[in-house]
Chain A
Amino acid sequence: MPDNKNKDYLNYIDKTAPKSPILKNVALAFVIGGLICVIGQLIGDFYKKVCGLDSESAKTAVSVTMVFLGAFLTGIDVYPKIAKHAGAGTIVPITGFANSITSPAMEFKREGLVLGMSAKMFVVAGPVLVYGITSSVIIGIIYFLYKVMIGG
């Protein structure tokens, strides 16, 4: 492992390497991520007002619909094209979660349905699931203890 004698070089390439255009990226992420949420809201309103679902069912139905749209747009190679500009704007909403599962599933199906597609399906989303589920359990326990001790 190289030591500190190369610090000058590392500083030099740090300075010369072009930086990501953060302001532009943030603005695009805000607008496109916001648009995805607006679409979700519209679908939710449609389910509630036109289809007559109650609030809870409408929320679930919106999630299912958005996951489908994310996966579908990934399948026809549209989602990565939007994501190239949107960055976090397409990663954070639930459609990004769908993309992160659909894309390895598509890519690794050539290695077989068992050891390829299904084994590799969570290669990107795995950490989200592990830490998402773990933290929800921890929060659940805290909430439970709060209820028991303080009452509510």
Chain B
Amino acid sequence: MAVRLGNQTMALERNVSVINTATVVGTKESEGPLSPYFDVKMKDAEWGEETWEKTESKMQKEAAKLAMQKAGKQPSDIHCAFAGDLLNQCISSGFSARELGTPFYGLYGACSTMIEGLSLGALAIDGGGMNTAIAVASSHFCTAERQYRNPLEYGGQRPPTAQWTVTGAAAAVLEADKNAPYITHVTSGKVVDFGVIDQNNMGGAMAPAAIDTLCAHFADTGRSPQDYDLILSGDLGKIGREIVINMMNSNGFNMNDNYGDSGCMIYDIEKQDVHAGGSGCGCIAVTVCGYIFEMMKSGKLNDVLILGTGALLSPTSSLQGESVPGIAHAVALSNRPGGER
């Protein structure tokens, strides 16, 4: 059973392994710097489907199937799927789980969903009620745009703080007592809202939640940023990343050297015209399941703190003038059982 540390963190007792992962990405992501780490690269936004919503659930389904196949598992071997996405009523996840036939919990943590899934899957395995689980998350630029913003063909301009929703789905198969990397700690985040109303500045809206969870993680575990080879946040983008570095510095934590943000890594921000960077559930999902998993497998990274960040707004709340509440969940990954050094 997990051990509770401080107010928000659990140290897992069982060795919960990330046994394998798979990623499916769109065209813009396959032109980005992380391209070599992705499994399936779609040739277009539709991938042979008649609606983008169908495409997104197909992306989830294919990512999950491929992850299971790479892990040497059948859907019937998986005790539960923890999956989520950005669309109303989590349809991408529900529709993909319909095809997979594994028991399923649908999650909504906005862009932090993948990390929420990894956290809950790891805790469920640690608790002993499950031996295997799969965490899945997806986002699609076209489905997110039409739900949250304007029709794609509408001629409008984006402000420089806007972020680009990643077209990507990823899945990670978890199992007890297998190979490294292991999920060793889970820090559950609080909803933090500093009153940012501009829904085009997600980085600014989510950064306080990220900082809150980071500080809680370091306080609960007694660790410092230097205990990790890399601290990776979800989709704060260029602006949110700067805020985190500055404000963590004023909290006494130096994050200048080993802190990255998936939203800044997945695209070439200058060349790919994505303004402040990437966002969406797929952003951290494909970065962790593609790049981070490879780096940990090859031993180039051994201890990584993953911080999924989400903006818990809806088109309705924005229209009603509500501010954007943020959330951030953290999981620590280590190549050593329990993260002991």
**Which of A41-49, A54-62, A78-86, A137-145 lies on the face that meets chain B?**
A78-86
By the criterion CB–CB under 8 Å, are B146 and A107 in contact? yes
Given A16-B239, A17-B239, A110-B51, A90–B155 Cβ distance below 8 Å?
yes
Return chain B residues, CB-CB under 8 Å to A103. 150-155
Fill in one digit per residue for B44-85: 1 if any A CB lies within 8 Å of its CB, else 0: 000000110000000000000000000000000000000000
Q: Judging by beta carbons under 8 Å apart, are B323 and A2 in contact?
A: yes
Indicate which residue in B150, B155, B156, B201 contacts A13 across the interface (CB closer than 8 Å).
B201
B177 at the A interface (CB under 8 A): no
Is B193 an interface residue, CB under 8 A from the partner? yes
Q: Which of B33-41, B157-165, B284-292 contacts A (4 or more CB under 8 A)?
A: B157-165
**In the complex, which residues of chain A have a beta carbon less than 8 angstroms from the beta carbon of B157?**
20, 25, 83-84, 87
Determine if B243 and A80 form an interchain contact, defined as CB atoms under 8 angstroms apart: no
Q: Chain A residues with Cβ under 8 A from B151's Cβ?
A: 103-104, 106-108, 123-124
Q: Is A10 a contact partner of B153 (Cβ separation < 8 A)?
A: no
Task: Assess whether B154 is in contact with A13, with CB atoms less than 8 Å apart.
Answer: no
Query: B204 to A99, Cβ gap below 8 A?
Result: no
A136 in the interface, Cβ–Cβ < 8 Å?
no
B242 part of interface (Cβ distance < 8 Å): yes
B195 partner residues in chain A, CB cutoff 8 A: 1-2, 6, 9-10
The size bracket of the interface on B is 20 to 34
Question: Most B CB atoms within 10 A — which of A9, A75, A77?
Answer: A9
Give complex CA distance A79, B151 in Å: 13
- Residue of B at shortest CB range from A95? B155
- CA of A80 to CA of B131, assembled, Å: 50
Determine if A147 is an interface residue (Cβ-Cβ < 8 Å). no
Which chain A residues border B243 with CB–CB below 8 Å?
12-13, 16
- Nearest chain B CB to A142 CB, angstrom units: 32
Chain B residue with the shortest CB-CB distance to A21: B160
* A3-B17 Cα distance, complex, nearest whole Å: 43
Contacts of A83 in B (CB 8 A): 155-157
In the bound complex, CA of A86 to CA of B156 (Å): 9
| Interface residue? B196 (CB, 8 A) | yes
Query: B239 contacts which chain A residues (CB < 8 A)?
Result: 13, 16-18
In the complex, A37 has a CB within 8 A of chain B: no
User: When the two chains form their complex, are residues A9 and B194 in contact, meaning their CB atoms are under 8 A apart?
Assistant: yes
Task: For the complex, give the distance between the alpha carbons of A103 and B149 in Å.
Answer: 12
What CA separation (Å) do A124 and B156 show in the bound complex?
11
Question: How far does the Cβ of B186 sit from chain A's closest Cβ, in whole Å?
Answer: 27
In the complex, how many angstroms separate the beta carbon of B81 from the nearest chain A beta carbon?
A: 27
Q: A16-B243, A17-B239, A103-B150 are in contact. Are A10 and B194 (CB under 8 A)?
A: yes
With contact pairs A10-B196, A17-B204 given, residues A91 and B160 touching in the complex (Cβ less than 8 Å): no
Most buried by A among B156, B204, B239, B243: B156
Min CB distance, B327 to chain A, in Å? 15
Contacts of A123 in B (CB 8 A): 151
Inter-subunit contact B155/A84 (CB<8 Å): yes
| Separation of A1 and B197 alpha carbons in the complex (Å) | 11
Q: A2-B323, A16-B242, A16-B243 are in contact. Are A99 and B150 (CB under 8 A)?
A: no
Question: Does B189 count as interface, using CB distance less than 8 angstroms?
Answer: no
**Residues in A whose Cβ lies below 8 Å from that of B207:** 13
A94 → B minimal CB distance (Å): 13
**Distance A77 CA – B153 CA, assembled complex (angstroms):** 6
Contact with B along A1-44 (1 / 0, CB 8 A): 11000100110110011111100010000000000000000000
Q: Is B208 an interface residue (CB 8 A)?
A: yes
**A13→B51 contact, CB < 8 A:** no
- Beyond A2-B193, A17-B204, whether A107 also contacts B153 by CB under 8 A is yes
A-B contact pairs, 8 of them (CB 8 A): A10-B194, A17-B204, A18-B160, A18-B161, A20-B159, A99-B154, A103-B153, A107-B152
**What 5 A-B pairs come out closest when comparing CB atoms?**
A83-B155, A103-B153, A107-B151, A13-B204, A103-B151
Extra contacts, 7 of them, besides A9-B195, A16-B239, A18-B161 (Cβ < 8 A), are A1-B322, A12-B243, A19-B160, A75-B153, A80-B152, A84-B157, A124-B154
